[in-house]
Structure 1
Amino acid sequence: MKHIDGLDGLRGIAVLFVVFYHFQQFLFIPGYIGVDFFFVISGFLITSIICTGIQRDNFDFFVFYSRRIKRILPVVSIVVLFVTIVFLFLFNPIEYQKLYSSVIYNTVFLSNVFFYKTSGYFGSEAIETPLLHLWSLSVEEQFYFIYPLFLTLSFRFLGEKKLISSLIFIGAISLFLSIWITGKNQPLAYLLPFTRAWELISGALVYFLIIKPKVKLNFTFDFIFLFSILGMFLFVDKDSFPGFSAIFPVYIACYLIVKCHNVNSYTSFILSFPMLRFVGRISFSLYLLHWPAVVLLNDFGFDFSLLNSIIVILVLIFISFVTYEIIENRFRYTKSLSFVILNSIALPIILTFSIFYISKLDYFSYKIYGENHGFYNDMNSKPESLSFSCFSNQVDLENESSCLITKSERADTVNILLIGDSHANQYIPAFKESYSNKKYTITNYSMGSCPMLADAFTVQSEVCKNRTRNVYSLIENRSYDYVVISNYWSNYSGYLKYTNTLFDSFGSRVNLIDAVDKSINFINESGSKVVILGSIPILSDDELYCFEEGLDCVVANNTVEDPFFSHLESENSDYFNFFPVSDLFCVDNFSCKLVIHETFIYRDNNHLNSNGSALLLFPDSLFN
């Protein structure tokens, strides 16, 4: 199929939508739909390339993927390398660790998975994530690991009609999943390929439509196009996207591609406007460069006014043109694939790893982060998980030695089990320092994001369910003197009111108070006494990095659930003890020290780091 000039213009519109949206301009247009345009265009073009090759009997997988590598990897690698160098001097070690992790995930085209697990696309941390925009590239590449093989086999063995039917069926399933999952978990639906595949498949179906002779779109299609534009403004909302509302931009993109195929149409004439085509040709470089620029400017407090934004965007367009000419075109037409792979994969990985390693050395850490480098090292120390089996759902009921925090051989040994989420795991160093070489044997079965309460689970997590059931079976069948429960209580309680973060086995919402009461009763009936540890103060971003601002690093105690547990203990002192952990480093409600013995004790806004935890000495009276 010959080149369609209007597609360059459509690319230009798509990338300008995204760029202006990220520069916070013309926000009445949901600019993130530009990515949906790209998905449709990409599905159309790849299908065109593959099917044309099959029809001419000269399609070659090696040639296909070689072209993809030459087209994509060189400029991506340059941008990634630039970002890792520049932000080394702007990010603190915690932020840079996350950036480095995103580079590794991007290397294997899994950055969308990484960002789903961390920041999400619309999350508050997005503006501090310079490689966030690479999620869409990962979605496309994941799709193209499977799609070319599916297309070639289906085309040759099923024929064109059955192939089209198969694409419609798969696309319908993907659209259904997109609508359904968006209502349940919007970040998952936004970032992962199985809820985006229908958009690429829509582009593929457009190809099969326009290769038919004399294809024309009647008034009905024109009316739907106008309605889709209206719907894009009225119904597209980032909190419920992609879902059903993604149908509007996808239909618009499909309609415009069909119209562009007719070079005599007004649509083709408009989209073939030279400036739009120019922006379209450099759209890949512009897309890659613009978001790191936004993050960089935001870090320097840039004023994103309309005039300032336009000036910066024009500069980015010029840089993108240079990048397009010097990097994209040079590598795209080189004959040596090994040269491309070496320069695009091996060297950037080696250099990025080297930069990260150097940044970890004390000398360079001090040069870059100044006198605070020691505090950053504290923040990066995480309480060990002891062993994989102790931090996964596979609890070894026969052998718990690998999960021991402390062990006593004395005749009067007190056996203690520590359970809960990561707010229990954070006390491993504290328990080691407080109870080693004494009469206490302490076992840790905590698990991240799992509160370990009887028949109360987080968002229907099967892993959490299995772990909780195994642990309570262990409590019932083993003789523990004490069971210690520690959690991020306010995360599950909504300040001790009904919340949608805890569910029972049947999926019904659970009240935290009832779940705690049920857990205490079960543990007591099993012959053990319960100790509940209170939360630690939750920090704001300014408080977390207080040492950067030269502040006192003293905060107020905002643990709202402590009074409730204290009251519950006073009424049921024979059944459980409550210990407010904040008392170990808070003098009163307005003086909680974040730096103890020149050690910063937090690793994020609600967890202790390993060095800090080891400084908290729990009293022996807790288990007497």
Structure 2
Amino acid sequence: MTHANPHLAYRADIDGLRAIAVLAVVLFHAFPAWLPGGFVGVDVFFVISGYLISSIIFKALAGGDFSFADFYLRRVRRIFPALLLVILASLALGWNVLLPFEYRELGKHAAAGLGFVANLVYWREAGYFDTAAELKPLLHLWSLGVEEQFYILWPAVAVVAWRLKQRFWMAVALLAGVSFAVGLVLTVQAPVAGYFLLPARAWELLAGALLALRVQRRGPLFPRGGRLADVAAGLGFTLCLAAIVVIDKTRAFPGWWALLPVSGAVLMIAAGERAWLNRVLLANRVMVAIGLISFPLYLWHWPLLAFVRIVLGEGAGAFTLAGAVVAALIAATLTYRLLEIPLRRRGGWQPVAGLVLTSLLVVGVATNIVVRGGLDFRLKDAQAERDARALDWTDALRGETDCEPALPAGTTGKCLQADPARQATALIIGDSHANHYYWGLSESLRKQGVILMQLQGAGCPPLKGASILKDGSLNGCRQVIDAAIDYALRTPGIETVFLGGRWVYHASGRELKDAADQVSSEMLVLPERPESKDWGRAEVFEHALDDTLRTLTAAGKRVVFLHGVPELDFHARECIAWHPNRFISRTPRPSCATARALAEARMAEVRPLLGHVLARFPQVAQFDPVPLMCDAAACYGKRDGLLLYRDDDHLSLEGSYWLARRMEAQLPALLGRAGRGGDVGEVARGL
């Protein structure tokens, strides 16, 4: 995402290639259904950057006048002006439209972006394609982090390797090969790391560097153009187009798939400016104009799209998103002409010093936003402030270390205990849905003299022997859940075991927002049962649940099956009303509720299967939150002035306590302390 350098002969076709890359990314972000593989434009950018910047380095090394100081001064001049402007604008917009926890996150991402470690932060937070990604205005800075981390290391590596003379290309090729291999492994074993981290991406920049080395040492591959150049350009363009069309977010990317856009970009650059396609299409005046503003356009487009989606929610239609794209084009053009060009033309060290100082000040401002919790004083309305807090779920709410001394060494689940000083007498096992039950349930159980412990793993169904297979790799769910079950079995003091999970997703592989024929690429598997490889997802789920209940009940444990809360067909943030100023208003949905019929249809995807398994274990108590959270018309995201959810399927902390207070009447039956008359399961469900 760099610009042509005056030290190199200008190639208009490379600016045209930039235009293709940035337009692919922008259209994908604005209208993902139109261009499902548009995100590969970033990979094309990496190749272009590797080629141009390495060409500059190699030319300077060949001339004996390479200077680290000069190299990094140029990087500051080219990167910081537009980056600072976009971050400052995002912080200003965020002040006016973001809720405190959102603004706190923006402050963190702004500081990370200016420190060129945004990719590391997003790697720790989530996957690129998570729903929440659309609501992170600076998410796109991850690619800038990868690029600048590369350029912190690459000049020094190039200077050392240059001394190898003819073997230099072998050293670069070896580095690229190692990086590619790392990318293949991480794409399977740790997909988020494979997407965000430099070791898995460096080969894309090194592919451009290898081409630059070839050109520097032996000249262009096709100095006079001709048929071979035309074939190379045409093949490269076809590969890039195929990547945009064929690759989508379900693919294991980057991995092998990244060869398509990377090879395509290398071929198009190698074809040279005399190739017919490069000369006619890429060097077209319109394409070149877009290419010249590609960097500021990349920086501007995502924050504008994100803020539109944050403010308007479901009201962000195609026309509005197209308007955001047009605004990004205008902002990018003005940034290029009024900021980038003037600063490039100014000599001396003063502009660079000013840019660095300004960036340090902005980092300080962003850090202040983080430290002060997103500046909640901006919310003048008490209800909005309370609702905004409901959306925040800190790491401390997921797990602590207080209860770890009571656990066997190597236990990996996130642990919580109502009173770490006392022996736990009940255990809740499961995923993040078990976690949202824990807080209210632990408080209500304490009144019954029961101390609750939690052992959970994010995304892990509480099913014995089950794991999640994605892109050929098993996650650690089996270890987390099996260890929790083993702990319950080996601990006499644990009398009751609660099982909580997002059952409808685990059994169906679908979210409420998914189309009827869309199923997650993640597979529920039983690694220790070879015969299960021929089973469908529902059959695997049934066997695993049966085995879990049979194991626990056979050991004399009281088992309570916690049905999932109704899912919403919107994000809970859309229920918050906030009017920060007379120009902007975050107007809530007319109704913070999902139609009961829709909720029932969603639950119907799994209820028959659950009923079939649970009927085999009449001693297992069941709790169903639906009668408490729904009426005949709807299931509510907000009740009694409280926002019960923090997103579309997780309870907020207040929601957890609200639900637990209403289930207290059922706790004696759930714990087996009620009278023996009647079916325990029916009593516990409150039906």
Q: TM-score range by the shorter chain?
A: 0.7 to 0.9
Q: Does the CA contact (< 8 Å) of 1:405 and 1:431 recur in 2? A: no
Distance 1:180 1:233, change over 3 A: farther
Deviations for 1:525-576, whole angstroms, at most 9, x for unmatched residues? 33323211110001111666345124264652443444544554443223x2
Structure-1 separation of matches of 2:269 and 2:255: 22
Establish whether residue 491 from structure 1 lines up as the match of residue 539 from structure 2. no
Structure-1 separation of matches of 2:385 and 2:23: 35
- The residue type paired with residue 520 of structure 1 is L
Deviations for 1:72-130, whole angstroms, at most 9, x for unmatched residues? 23431221121121133234445445434432442443333444566755565554433
Structure-2 separation of matches of 1:492 and 1:208: 51
Could you say which residue in structure 1 is the equivalent of 2:174? Answer: 169
Q: Does the CA contact (< 8 Å) of 1:6 and 1:269 recur in 2? A: no
Could you say which residue in structure 1 is the equivalent of 2:523? Answer: 501
Structure-1 separation of matches of 2:346 and 2:624: 62
Structure-2 separation of matches of 1:573 and 1:243: 48
1:493 Cα offset (Å): 0.9
Structure-2 separation of matches of 1:266 and 1:552: 54
Q: Does the CA contact (< 8 Å) of 1:259 and 1:268 recur in 2? A: no
Q: Counterpart of 1:73 in 2: which secondary structure? A: helix
Structure-2 separation of matches of 1:306 and 1:94: 25
Establish whether residue 148 from structure 1 lines up as the match of residue 155 from structure 2. yes
Q: Does the CA contact (< 8 Å) of 1:426 and 1:609 recur in 2? A: yes
Correspondence for 1:420 among 421, 430, 437: 430
Could you say which residue in structure 1 is the equivalent of 2:514? Answer: none
TM-score w.r.t. length of structure 1: 0.82
Deviations for 1:190-229, whole angstroms, at most 9, x for unmatched residues? 5443443222112111122112345543744542332332
Deviations for 1:298-349, whole angstroms, at most 9, x for unmatched residues? 65647549996896466234312344347743788534765433211x2112
Q: Counterpart of 2:380 in 1: which secondary structure? A: helix
Structure-2 separation of matches of 1:568 and 1:125: 34
Deviations for 1:362-407, whole angstroms, at most 9, x for unmatched residues? 542126xx85332222232557235147699985589x99842147
Q: Counterpart of 1:199 in 2: which secondary structure? A: helix
Correspondence for 2:198 among 190, 193, 197: 193
Distance 1:256 1:46, change over 3 A: same
TM-score w.r.t. length of structure 2: 0.76
Q: Does the CA contact (< 8 Å) of 1:15 and 1:287 recur in 2? A: no
Correspondence for 2:15 among 11, 16, 20: 11
Correspondence for 1:293 among 304, 320, 331: 304
Q: Does the CA contact (< 8 Å) of 2:496 and 2:671 recur in 1? A: yes
Correspondence for 2:651 among 608, 619, 622: 608
Q: Does the CA contact (< 8 Å) of 1:75 and 1:328 recur in 2? A: no
Distance 1:578 1:6, change over 3 A: same
Establish whether residue 516 from structure 1 lines up as the match of residue 524 from structure 2. no
Deviations for 1:149-183, whole angstroms, at most 9, x for unmatched residues? 33233223xx1333312322333454466567668
Could you say which residue in structure 2 is the equivalent of 1:470? Answer: 483
Deviations for 1:493-512, whole angstroms, at most 9, x for unmatched residues? 11799984322335965711
1:421 Cα offset (Å): 1.0
Structure-1 separation of matches of 2:90 and 2:449: 53
Structure-2 separation of matches of 1:538 and 1:504: 27
1:456 Cα offset (Å): 0.7
Q: Does the CA contact (< 8 Å) of 2:415 and 2:454 recur in 1? A: no
Stretches of structure 1 that go unaligned for 5 or more consecutive residues are none
1:419 Cα offset (Å): 1.1
Structure-2 separation of matches of 1:545 and 1:195: 37
Could you say which residue in structure 1 is the equivalent of 2:48? Answer: 41
Distance 1:34 1:591, change over 3 A: closer
Q: Does the CA contact (< 8 Å) of 1:457 and 1:503 recur in 2? A: yes
- The residue type paired with residue 18 of structure 2 is A
- The residue type paired with residue 611 of structure 1 is E
Establish whether residue 541 from structure 1 lines up as the match of residue 586 from structure 2. no
Distance 1:361 1:395, change over 3 A: farther
Deviations for 1:445-495, whole angstroms, at most 9, x for unmatched residues? 222222242111233555434323432332232112111111111221117
Q: Which moved more, 1:12-21 or 1:592-601?
A: 12-21
Structure-2 separation of matches of 1:593 and 1:282: 47
Could you say which residue in structure 1 is the equivalent of 2:266? Answer: 254
Q: Which moved more, 1:455-464 or 1:561-570?
A: 561-570
Q: Does the CA contact (< 8 Å) of 2:235 and 2:264 recur in 1? A: no
- The residue type paired with residue 580 of structure 1 is D
Structure-1 separation of matches of 2:415 and 2:284: 68
Could you say which residue in structure 1 is the equivalent of 2:212? Answer: 207
Q: Does the CA contact (< 8 Å) of 1:544 and 1:605 recur in 2? A: no
Structure-1 separation of matches of 2:192 and 2:272: 33
Could you say which residue in structure 1 is the equivalent of 2:555? Answer: 526
Could you say which residue in structure 1 is the equivalent of 2:622? Answer: 578
Distance 1:163 1:320, change over 3 A: same
Structure-2 separation of matches of 1:64 and 1:108: 18
Structure-1 separation of matches of 2:607 and 2:325: 52
Correspondence for 2:141 among 134, 137, 148: 134
Distance 1:391 1:540, change over 3 A: farther
Establish whether residue 340 from structure 1 lines up as the match of residue 355 from structure 2. yes
1:578 Cα offset (Å): 1.8
Deviations for 1:232-264, whole angstroms, at most 9, x for unmatched residues? 3345423146555544543443344445588x9
Q: Which moved more, 1:426-435 or 1:113-122?
A: 113-122
Q: Does the CA contact (< 8 Å) of 2:642 and 2:654 recur in 1? A: yes
Establish whether residue 112 from structure 1 lines up as the match of residue 119 from structure 2. yes
Q: Which moved more, 1:269-278 or 1:214-223?
A: 269-278
1:514 Cα offset (Å): 0.9
Deviations for 1:419-456, whole angstroms, at most 9, x for unmatched residues? 11111111232123312243312222222222242111
Structure-2 separation of matches of 1:3 and 1:329: 13
Correspondence for 1:379 among 387, 391, 400: 391
1:186 Cα offset (Å): 7.0
Q: Which moved more, 1:306-315 or 1:87-96?
A: 306-315
Establish whether residue 449 from structure 1 lines up as the match of residue 459 from structure 2. yes
Q: Counterpart of 1:520 in 2: which secondary structure? A: helix
Structure-2 separation of matches of 1:180 and 1:320: 40
Establish whether residue 238 from structure 1 lines up as the match of residue 243 from structure 2. no
Q: Does the CA contact (< 8 Å) of 2:230 and 2:276 recur in 1? A: no
1:50 Cα offset (Å): 3.1
Aligned residues: 612
Stretches of structure 2 that go unaligned for 5 or more consecutive residues are 511-518, 577-587, 673-687
- The residue type paired with residue 419 of structure 1 is I
Could you say which residue in structure 2 is the equivalent of 1:84? Answer: 91
Structure-2 separation of matches of 1:536 and 1:160: 65
Correspondence for 1:551 among 591, 615, 622: 591
- The residue type paired with residue 508 of structure 2 is G
CA RMSD of aligned residues (A): 4.3
Q: Counterpart of 1:502 in 2: which secondary structure? A: strand
Q: Which moved more, 1:197-206 or 1:546-555?
A: 546-555
Distance 1:171 1:435, change over 3 A: same
